[in-house]
Amino acid sequence: MEGLVSIVVPVYNAGKYIEKTIRMVQEQTFTNWELILVDDCSQDDGAKKIEPFLSDKIRLIQKEKNEGAAAARNTGLDHMRGRYLAFLDADDVWRKEKLEKELDFMRKKDCAFCFTAYEFGDEEANGTGKVVNVPETLTFKQALPRTVIFTTTVLFDTEKIDKKLLKMPQVPSEDTATWWQILRAGYTAYGLNENLAVYRRPAKSLSSNKFVALKRIWFLYRRQAGLSVVKSAYYFVIWAFLAVKRRI
């Protein structure tokens, strides 16, 4: 359908947030959307909380096997009816004008892939004032040393980009791996440097295992990007510096 935005949300034990997430989408100033909620075998009451909202615009897909966020997003991609694809995580927040402004930006730039700036939030999704600004454009080479694209901010035009490239691989940091496979295919991502989303970070995640994050990015350089050890080390050092700077 022309102009329809398909919003894919992976849902796993998100009962605490899911009602607010749905209402947040309903409050968007852009109204031509469909919301596809993919329940990844949750063990809480999230699915029951979704049921009262179901309609022609809001659908629930319940997976038979827990396979993780990447597979859930891919399932949503398979069921989308819109031209445009947006990803949203159940615990993150969009500003009310997010879709309207980003879609207008995408059309003006005539691009296939865009993303926006965002703000770190506390566990109640209150903005902390720490905003991650984004560049005007981002190519594959420019993306390697910086994980500046936040999943909840991306928007794709499936008439300009092959859906196969939007399928997320089953690897650690699957979102970053996906952006790289798209950019490596020759696309350029366009950044709308306006804070239109909040990245919720519960207190317990602030002390998350940094060693695991380091292993993931090294894996992406060596396996997904296919870089040599020397090039991987070069980008790794820059990435680590920028990652620390972004969070200070």
pLDDT one-digit tens code per residue, 116-155: 999 999 887 788 899 999 999 999 999 999 889 999 999 9
The 10s digit of each residue's pLDDT in 6-41 is: 999 999 999 999 999 999 999 999 999 999 999 999
The 10s digit of each residue's pLDDT in 227-247 is: 999 998 988 898 888 776 666
> pTM here?
0.92
**What's residue 8's pLDDT?**
98
Using alpha carbons, list the distances in angstroms from residue 189 to 90, 103, 134: 24, 14, 11
Q: Is 202's pLDDT higher than 80?
A: no
Q: How confident is the model at residue 206 (pLDDT cuts 50, 70, 90)?
A: very low
Q: How confident is the model at residue 211 (pLDDT cuts 50, 70, 90)?
A: confident
The answer to whether 115 and 155 are in contact (CB under 8 A) is: yes
The answer to whether 40 and 76 are in contact (CB under 8 A) is: no
**What's residue 1's pLDDT?**
54
